[in-house]
A and B are shown apart, each in its own frame.
Chain A
Amino acid sequence: MKFLSAVIISSILFNFAYSQNTTGRRLDAGLTNSPSGLDIATEKKKRSDGEEDLSESDSGVQRPIALKSGGFSANFAYNSDLTYQDNPYAVDGGELDFASALWTNSFTSSFGLGIIDMGDSVLTPYVGGSWTTNEYTSAFVDATPNQKGVFNSQSFNSTNAFVALLSQYGNGWSYSGVISYNMTKLTIDETEALRDFTYTLKALKSFSIDDSQIIFDASFNIHSTDGDSQGDYNGRDEMDRFDIASSLKLIREIGPINIAPKYTIQYSDYANGANDDRTQFLHNLALNLNYQITDSFNLEFNTAYTINDSSGSDDDDDYEMFDAGAGIKLSARF
């Protein structure tokens, strides 16, 4: 088994739709992503101490390190991203089909509660959460006054809390179970638009090929939702669904930059009300470029293209969207 130190940054892209007429608000668009707090707890830092020129010896280089006495850890991060979205409300034409920029500020924390050695695996429980502001703006786009009004009405804050249990095996496979609570609130009137309890089981395996790292994962998610009855859906639980998703990610270091293209496919099956017969396949192709300036400060660039192919519902839930943005990340680990 070879081990590469790499930075794994996970961008959370939430795409929401709102109609001023009858179609309501689309709060279920996009990928089901793992909680950002879990991502910062499990990301691996890039080697920053010039170990590329290793002098070898039979017994190896013996460099002293300082270790924590217990298994408790704390991780904090602040992200600020500005992203151009050509279809921020996830629609297929119509009056909401216009571009926007989204400015996201996210405060994330997570805590590792211990390290449990099971012999052939290591268990690590985590708890954490995040609070994110999402403001639609007219940066990068030419918006009409009406469209700017939509930006204001659609900006939202989201809150996440999670508990997770990770199990890492020596053969490279890891398994996790996560219970995540997400709440979305519109900033214009502080109304709660969505509550979503997501239950996730995920398997992940990483491989090393040459100087690249390849990460494969597969997950099963159940969403138990409570949504705004004035929106797209008549019933508060019409966004209840399960997802089956799988992704393949390549991470490669080129100089000081990590380049990570990723492809995700997600199948969703809805359960209730008007969405009873609805199923969809979502394809997402994303690229992340990450430049680690210091151990705690990263610059990143993200771009993604999403295609949603839906069937079985009264509304046209197909959409395509393109996103591109950049941001900074400050992080600390204790």
Chain B
Amino acid sequence: MFEMAAMRSPLNSLHGEDVPHVEFNGITLTELPFLRHYNVRFQPDDQQASSRFRQLLGFDAPQGPNIFVVHEDNLCAWLGPDEWLIVTPFHAKDSLDYALNEFAYGDDFVTRVDISAAQTIIRATGPKAADLLGRGVSYDLHPRNFQAGSCIQTVLARASVTLFAQSAAAVTIDIVVRRSFAEHLWNWLVDAGQESEFHSL
């Protein structure tokens, strides 16, 4: 068991010991550090694995492409036809850990990997958040296309990212990024937000 106080997020170096947070031109960027990330794989047509997943975690893994579901503390995103990302807050990790261990140690052909240390999440909020990300993403992030509950994996500023549309009203987009790219992406977002079109808010 490791101590919360001794943990450092990938973006701590930019802002001392504080959680990174910056506001500019109506856009707020903040890091969501220390969440637990798990990569889970199993064959979706494996009825036994699917039903054990539902039984142990309490929800179904989303089957469609480019969507995620939220169930209590857990967010479960579709990454591929047989691959999902589950994100849960630090305080809920023990129960999820237990459920995923039970799931992985059954007879079914499934894997779960704790990738919490490999990636972090940057949350972009504000009416122009989608425009800001649109400076580097070709996918249409307008709420009519990228609705709440959608997630896409794409490339932003040459970094592989997964984007979650958390809410449509006050646009909130979460960006999952590898830790080694986090500082680069943060600086790119702050820099892109300085362009003139973002000043008129």
A, B co-complexed:
no
Chain B residues within CB distance 8 Å of chain A: none
Chain A residues within CB distance 8 Å of chain B: none
